[in-house]
Structure 1
């Protein structure tokens, strides 16, 4: 099995968050790095849909699948905005 490589990263935390993280390390027995990686993995997974939607929108625009200015103006005239 190939070893996992990691890149170091420095992060400045607000004092209250640093205190909470320190408490979690004591309670869980996990180090700050492991807790931070777990939190970032969860956040990135939860936000990944945005990347997919943006890439899909760009692909649609590249194919010309976008509304014309007249269609957009009609929509806002009809539904407000």
Structure 2
């Protein structure tokens, strides 16, 4: 029986991805749910980090917190550009 903290979801996969998932299941001995949940967790975490980073940058820009001309010139002198 499913925990009340879990929700089920139906997803249509392209045939090639379904085949890759099947191979991964066979190679790892893990089921579709375990593999899919792990992949979705990683994806959602990465997306959330990017959104947070972007929102932080927008906040800094809104407060006028920009790099000075000297800082920008130093960066490009050091790393090229």
Q: Same fold (TM over 0.5)?
A: yes
1:49 aligned partner: 49
Matches within 5 A, 1:13-52: 13-52=13-52
What TM-score does the superposition give when structure 2 sets the normalisation length?
0.60
State the Cα deviation string for residues 7-49 of structure 1 (Å, max 9, x = none): 0001110000000001111111100010000001111111212
1:53 Cα deviation from its structure 2 partner: 3.5
In the alignment, structure 1 segments of 5+ residues that lack a partner are 66-81
TM-aligned CA distance change 1:62 to 1:43, over 3 Å: same
Aligned counterpart, 2:6:
6
TM-score, normalization: structure 1?
0.60
Between the two proteins, the alignment pairs up a number of residues equal to 66
Provide runs of 4+ in structure 1 moved above 2 Å.
Answer: 53-63
Aligned CA-pair RMSD: 2.7
